[in-house]
A and B are shown apart, each in its own frame.
Chain A
Amino acid sequence: MTDYREHIVKSFDEEISNVIHLTTKMATLVEEQYKLLYHVVDTGSPSTTEDILENEPKLDNYDAEIRDAVITLITLRSPVAVDLRDILTSLRISTDLERLGDYAKNIAMRVASLEEIPETHIKNDILRLLNLVQVQLKKVIDAYVSKDIKKAQEVLKNDLEIDNNYNVIYEEIVDVIKGKVSKLRLLTYTKLLFAIKTLERAGDHIGNIAEEIHFIVTGEHIDLKPDSKENNLEDALEDSNK
């Protein structure tokens, strides 16, 4: 955790705190959305899906509020160095959060028919994948609030687990589709494929946030090449620890 002194101008501190506070509140609401989503996947509850849809516009509001606060801050204070990183990063994080919120909504609308399929192991596996996403989300929010770079690095490492789980479920569903499936069921399975892909993407956005946290604290980017993600991540994290 990195602590900085107070600014000479007190309201400068208040304005930065406000941006961080808004971002944290937005993140907490996204966390809530995934909690509701878990309930939807688990029980198929239509009223919980309604709750998710109702929360969605609030996320857009936070996004707009953060943008306005950042613009005001840049105009009034011309922040530099860590302050500038802090508030510019809020903009990027809120974009990731907004996307994560979108995903929760999309998945909630796709998995309503999960109850109809006989393969209970698929449902359990999706629940496990969703739980992994939730754990990652909680961890990245903690890392953001405490500017904990170690925790952010853990989040980046753990994303691989989400990817692996996604691949397993993907194979499972494809295996079912390869067998004899009614047209109606086929639609359900296709929706599930989209849902798990979306969860996998959610993991990537959480990873983005972790990278942003790394940037706020160190002023340096963790550089990852998409092809051999695993190896490069290890190298990049090792470099940044030096």
Chain B
Amino acid sequence: MTEKLKLSIKNLDVHYGDKQALFNVNLNIMEKEVTSLIGPSGCGKSTLLKCINRMNDLVEICKIRGQILLDSQDINEASQDPVLLRMKVGMVFQKPNPFPKSIYDNVAFGPKLHGMTKSKEQLDNVVIQSLSKSGLYEEVKDRLFEPGTSLSGGQQQRLCIARALAINPEILLMDEPCSALDPIATAKIEDLIAELKQQYTIVIVTHSMQQAARVSDRTAYMHMGELVETGLTKTIFSNPQHEKTQDYITGRIG
């Protein structure tokens, strides 16, 4: 662990119309660590995740108050370009959602869009490197031009991770990345997360307590829009300080 602050969320309130979804959330996310967000459905985990790459911009009734500082820069400032932000902050969703394009084009899409490469050769390199990083290259190298949707669920998810990595992000957001996958595909993704954190800062939302315990360095427990407790994962799962956290992780009514 580098113990370097990457992302600092300060006094964050989020409203969807009249309904308040997040209440004064304060959370520090360290560089090159895996932080997991856990909590019952509707507690605000995904809302918080979406704030980090401004996906809530697309929701008209969404109002955000407070600060989200990425490397000390407020991402919601008027001068900040959300497209550039999303280059720095990649996202992987619950259900694998490859574009209806070839495996190659799925990964090449981002770099092309952002004009990151100057030649076909460079682009090829980015695609191969990204697929290698997501552990998929060996499995698909002979069929790069087949549709991404022809892959298995677990492979599709790793394709989505490769797609996110292709634009060289600093932070990777993962919203229940394994909930649609079988145990073997899940194990591969978890393995991958452990590798990726050498290079990236990862924030993962998960409903699997064991997964949070296995993959993350720090865990934040959320309940009804509030951040109840945050700490080292080891502590949260062995000896949480807050009764609500204890009730939730031990499967009591929380």
| A80 with B252: CB separation less than 8 A | no
**Nearest Cβ on chain B to A206's Cβ, whole angstroms:** 25
* Residues from chain A with Cβ under 8 Å of B240 in the complex: 81
* Residues from chain B with Cβ under 8 Å of A6 in the complex: 252-253
| B238 with A5: CB separation less than 8 A | no
Complex Cα gap A81–B247 (Å)? 10
* Residues from chain A with Cβ under 8 Å of B239 in the complex: 81, 218-220
A81-B237, A219-B238 in contact; A4/B249 too (CB < 8 A)?
A: no
Is A170 interfacial (CB-CB < 8 Å)?
Answer: no
* Residues from chain A with Cβ under 8 Å of B238 in the complex: 80-81, 84, 219
* Residues from chain B with Cβ under 8 Å of A8 in the complex: 251-253
* Residues from chain B with Cβ under 8 Å of A12 in the complex: 251
Chain B residue total in the interface (Cβ 8 A): 14
| A7 with B237: CB separation less than 8 A | no
| B253 with A80: CB separation less than 8 A | no
Is A78 interfacial (CB-CB < 8 Å)?
Answer: yes
8 A Cβ contacts from B230-254 to A: 237-240, 246-247, 249-253
8 A Cβ contacts from B40-63 to A: none
Main secondary structure on A side of the interface with B: loop
| B249 with A81: CB separation less than 8 A | yes
| A77 with B246: CB separation less than 8 A | no
Is B85 interfacial (CB-CB < 8 Å)?
Answer: no
8 A Cβ contacts from B64-105 to A: none
As a 0/1 sequence over residues 197 to 218 of chain B, the CB contacts with chain A under 8 angstroms (1 = contact) are 0000000000001100100000
A5-B252, A6-B253, A8-B253 in contact; A80/B237 too (CB < 8 A)?
A: yes
Among candidates B210, B246, B247, B253, residue contacting A78 with C-beta atoms closer than 8 Å: B210
* Residues from chain B with Cβ under 8 Å of A81 in the complex: 237-240, 246, 249-250
| A82 with B251: CB separation less than 8 A | no
* Residues from chain A with Cβ under 8 Å of B246 in the complex: 4, 81-82
Complex Cα gap A218–B249 (Å)? 17
Q: Kindly report which residue of chain A lies nearest to residue B239, judged by CB atoms.
A: A219
Complex Cα gap A95–B252 (Å)? 29
Complex Cα gap A82–B240 (Å)? 9
Complex A-B, nearest 10 residue pairs according to Cβ-Cβ distance, in ascending order: A219-B239, A5-B252, A7-B251, A83-B250, A80-B237, A7-B252, A80-B249, A81-B250, A8-B251, A81-B246
Q: Which residues of B contact A (CB under 8 A)?
A: 209-210, 213, 237-240, 246-247, 249-253
20 further A-B contacts with Cβ under 8 Å, apart from A5-B247, A7-B251, are A4-B246, A4-B247, A4-B252, A5-B252, A5-B253, A6-B252, A8-B251, A9-B251, A77-B251, A80-B209, A80-B250, A81-B238, A81-B246, A81-B249, A81-B250, A82-B250, A83-B250, A84-B238, A218-B239, A220-B239
Can you list 24 pairs linking A and B with CB atoms under 8 Å apart?
Answer: A4-B246, A4-B247, A4-B252, A5-B247, A5-B252, A6-B253, A7-B251, A8-B251, A8-B252, A8-B253, A9-B251, A77-B251, A80-B209, A80-B213, A80-B237, A80-B250, A81-B237, A81-B238, A81-B250, A82-B250, A83-B250, A219-B238, A219-B239, A220-B239
